Amino acid sequence: MNDITIDRERLWSSLQKLGEIGETDDGAMVRVTGSPADAAARDTVVSWFEDAGMNVTVDAVGNIKARLPGTTDEDPVMTGSHIDTVPHGGKFDGVVGVLAPLEVVRAWNDAGITPERPLDIVVFTEEEGTRFGVGLLGSLVATGKLALADALELSDGNETVRECLASIGYNGAGTIDLSSATSFLEIHVEQGPILDESEIDVGIVDAVAGITHHRVVFEGTADHAGNTPMDMRRDAYLGAAQFALELESIATSAGEHSVGTVGKSTVSPNGTNVVPGRVELGVDIRDIDSKRLSHMIDDAKAAATNAADARGLDVRWETLLEVEPTDLSAEIRRRLERAANSTDSTYRTMLSGAGHDAMNVAETVPTGMLFVPSEEGLSHTPEEFTSPEDLYRGTRVLEAAIRDLVGGPHAVSSPLSEKHPDSA
Ligand SMILES: [Zn+2]
């Protein structure tokens, strides 16, 4: 077998170069779909794919697919993630899932290895949903969960997806055919503290939590804060506050992986000397078990009603987003464990509390996810960081797993080895 060397410096420097595109003065990333930074970042990764001998195509929703041909025309193995960011994000979220597999291809090229099956690296459009309000947009279209025509008509009030993709030249044809893939792997930063705190190299994800979003509105009466006695108020803020505390105990007692968050609140009239007449809350409730998730939502609704009744308030509950929990493939998980063992990496099984493109793909294709540590668990902030060493270790596991899936390290006499006579 040829020596396969993941080049830590090459991987790190690619990540830094991509991290300069859309970087603000304070080191944050702003790479929103269709922006000049998005276009430049896309152009950069496409040129890197092509330099690595991959064939690049773009589909109608702007998903990029780079194919490393195999020695056979059998169905491909797919991997990938996204390179768009939240408005004040970091350099690692999504990007790792594109550049780590690119490093795998570069390392194979160096070693003169061609896989049996083709390997596709996919860059999904608008994963964060920052601009057009629908997260995981590219993978929703690729899996047929969202019709292409509907996706293209989504608008940010200024421009549609169709117009924005045309303006940056990433409006290709057709949609990526995920159903042809034998397997899908996504490597991603954990975006939580578990691996970093326990000093474990990689997380092997067995399930992605179900995600629900709700708008909860408490209505009372706006009054003068000086002239309205305490026992004569209908203070919407106090009802909302009581509900928030109740949600905390509901989630805490529901289960180990249950979480409930009031992440957003809009108080009106929002004046220091006014009793709040209306409070609108953005509520996020997640669980890995769909039954427990719906119980938590029922309990939360009851808690909102009780909090409102106790203070003579009205309450309205509107569910905005419901994504079912997703189990990932047990077979791919075993392969990832084998890959971790073969590279002497420590690992643990874990769930993902965040949604990822892999979650959509998992319904169509046997899918696995690999997490690398996020320093202090930070993500969606400029402080997001994964060390070069952790990236290197994770990429070694990814390489071993992909090599396993594409058909082994046997293809030595490939055309690529002619480009690298010294590597033979
Ligand atoms: Zn991501």
Phi-psi category of 104—alpha, beta or left, where left has phi over 0 and alpha has psi -120 to 50? alpha
Mean pLDDT calculated for residue range 347-357: 93
Report the distance separating Cα 313 and Cα 307, nearest Å: 8
Considering only the C-alpha atoms of the chain, give the largest distance between any 2 of them, rounded to a whole number of Å. Answer: 87
Give me Rg for the CA atoms of the chain: 24
Report the distance separating Cα 58 and Cα 54, nearest Å: 13
- 235 Cα–ligand 1 center, Å: 39
CB neighbours of residue 412 within 10 Å: 14
pLDDT of residue 2: 55
- 373 Cα–ligand 1 center, Å: 14
Strand order of the β-sheet with 210-219 is: 259-268, 278-287, 210-219, 314-323
Residue that the structure tokens 């409930």 belong to: 260
- Residue 413 pLDDT greater than 50, yes or no: no
Chain-wide mean pLDDT for the chain? 93
Taking a C-beta distance cutoff of 8 angstroms, is the pair 236, 287 a contact? Answer: no
Report the distance separating Cα 144 and Cα 166, nearest Å: 21
- 188 Cα–ligand 1 center, Å: 7
- Pull the structure tokens for residue 160: 């549609």
CB neighbours of residue 5 within 10 Å: 13
Report the distance separating Cα 5 and Cα 253, nearest Å: 47
pLDDT of residue 410: 44
| C-alpha distance from residue 231 to each of 227, 228, 234, 378 (Å) | 12, 8, 9, 44
Mean pLDDT calculated for residue range 341-348: 96
- 265 Cα–ligand 1 center, Å: 25
- 375 Cα–ligand 1 center, Å: 16
Phi-psi category of 177—alpha, beta or left, where left has phi over 0 and alpha has psi -120 to 50? beta
- pLDDT tens digits along 4-38: 999 999 999 999 999 999 999 988 999 999 999 99
CATH 3.40.630.10 maps onto the chain at 8-209+326-406
pLDDT of residue 416: 30
- pLDDT tens digits along 153-190: 999 999 999 999 999 999 999 999 898 999 999 999 99
- pLDDT tens digits along 97-134: 999 999 999 999 999 999 999 999 999 999 998 899 88
Report the distance separating Cα 10 and Cα 310, nearest Å: 61
CATH 3.30.70.360 maps onto the chain at 210-323
Task: Please report the sign of the dihedral spanned by the C-alpha atoms of residue 27, residue 32, residue 36, residue 38.
Answer: positive
- Quickly state the pLDDT bin for 409 (edges 50, 70, 90): low
- 356 Cα–ligand 1 center, Å: 6
Task: Tell me the H-state helices in 200-345.
Answer: 236-254, 290-309, 330-342
- Looking at residue 223, the DSSP 8-state letter turns out to be E
- Residue 415 pLDDT greater than 60, yes or no: no
- Quickly state the pLDDT bin for 407 (edges 50, 70, 90): confident
- 20 Cα–ligand 1 center, Å: 18
- pLDDT tens digits along 230-269: 999 999 999 999 999 999 999 999 999 899 999 999 999 9
pTM score of the predicted model: 0.86
- Looking at residue 192, the DSSP 8-state letter turns out to be S
Report the distance separating Cα 354 and Cα 189, nearest Å: 11
Fold of 8-209+326-406: Aminopeptidase (3.40.630)
- Pull the structure tokens for residue 115: 């896989």
Domain 210-323, architecture per CATH: 2-Layer Sandwich (3.30)
- Residue 412 pLDDT greater than 50, yes or no: no
Find, among 25, 62, 206, the residue nearest to 142 by Cα: 62
